């Protein structure tokens, strides 16, 4: 069967869900703080074609994907979701790796990029480390959960919260650890503000209307960089 042609007659790359590429391209572009026009210029393509890639569930030309990967400082494999089901850190260690302590300012800067972090709590069944979608609002870590879900146990306790990032291509990465007091936010006005300012709804879906706030007492972090 012939491959589907993208606008302009370019041959596409076969995938289960072509629309995933557009979402990955758009998300990577936003993370780098690039506009669509800036990205298109970097990749040597028309902004209208980049809009098509991001917004339409259609196959994309491999040459265009290579240029986009270069423009976005990533790989075609990442744009295609090649490692989506693999745990991070499967690559080999970098050349002369160095473990560097980050100061509090750098830790906070990396923490406030928001995303998915892990909260460590003690439940009736024992210790648990649970992933949550979080935001940083007014200097505190906030996330939503369900009343009967394990993360809700964090309220009124001292907890640990961790967020990290791994760069597979360069064998580099960083992690930030926060120790703080957790509390449930119940004041209606505070809840309203959190709903307005939170970056994302919980990916797990369902009714998750219990807000937990972690007020940091200690923030530490480390990063791995490749030496020379």
Express each pLDDT in 55-85 by its tens digit.
886 666 778 888 898 888 887 777 877 655 5
pLDDT of residue 206: 67
> Do 124 and 222 have their domain in common?
yes
Higher pLDDT, 153 or 204: 153
> Do 17 and 108 have their domain in common?
no
**pTM as predicted:** 0.58
Residues 9-37, mean pLDDT to the nearest whole number: 70
Residues 174-186, mean pLDDT to the nearest whole number: 91
Question: Per residue, what are the HEC states of the chain?
Answer: CCCCECHHHCECCCCCCCHHHHHHHHHHHHHCCCCHHHHHHHHCCCHHHHHHHHHCCCCCCHHHHHHHHHHCCCCHHHHHCCCCCCCCCCCCCCCCEEEEEECHHHHHHHHCCCEEEEEEEEECCEEEEEEEEEEEECCEEEEEECCCCHHHHHCCCEEEEEEEEEECCCCEEEEEEEEEEEEEECCHHHHHHHHHHCCCCCCCCCCCCEEEEEEEEEEEEEEEEECC
Q: For the segment 102-130, what is each residue's pLDDT rounded down to a tens digit?
A: 998 999 888 887 688 999 987 777 788 88
In a domain, 2, yes or no: no
In a domain, 156, yes or no: yes
**pLDDT above 90 coverage of the chain, percent:** 19
Q: How many domains does the chain have?
A: 2
């Amino acid at each position: 069967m012939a491959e589907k042609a993208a606008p302009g007659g370019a041959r596409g790359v076969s995938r289960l869900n072509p629309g995933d590429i557009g979402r990955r391209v758009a998300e990577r572009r936003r993370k780098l703080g690039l506009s669509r026009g800036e990205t298109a210029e970097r990749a040597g393509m028309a902004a209208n074609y980049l809009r098509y890639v991001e917004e339409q569930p259609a196959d994309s030309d491999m040459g265009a994907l290579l240029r986009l990967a270069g423009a976005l400082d990533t790989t075609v494999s990442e744009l295609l979701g090649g490692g989506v089901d693999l745990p991070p850190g499967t690559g080999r260690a970098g050349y002369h790796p160095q473990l560097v302590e980050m100061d509090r300012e750098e830790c906070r800067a990396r923490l406030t990029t928001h995303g998915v972090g892990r909260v460590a709590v003690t439940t009736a069944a024992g210790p648990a480390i649970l992933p949550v979608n979080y935001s940083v609002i007014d200097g505190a870590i906030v996330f939503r959960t369900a009343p009967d879900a394990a993360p809700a146990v964090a309220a009124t306790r001292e907890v640990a919260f961790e967020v990290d990032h791994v760069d597979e291509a360069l064998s580099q990465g960083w992690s930030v650890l926060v120790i703080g007091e957790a509390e449930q936010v119940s004041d209606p006005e505070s809840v309203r503000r959190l709903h307005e300012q939170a970056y994302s709804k919980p990916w797990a879906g369902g009714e998750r209307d219990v807000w937990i706030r972690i007020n940091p007492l200690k923030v530490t972090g480390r990063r791995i960089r490749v030496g020379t």
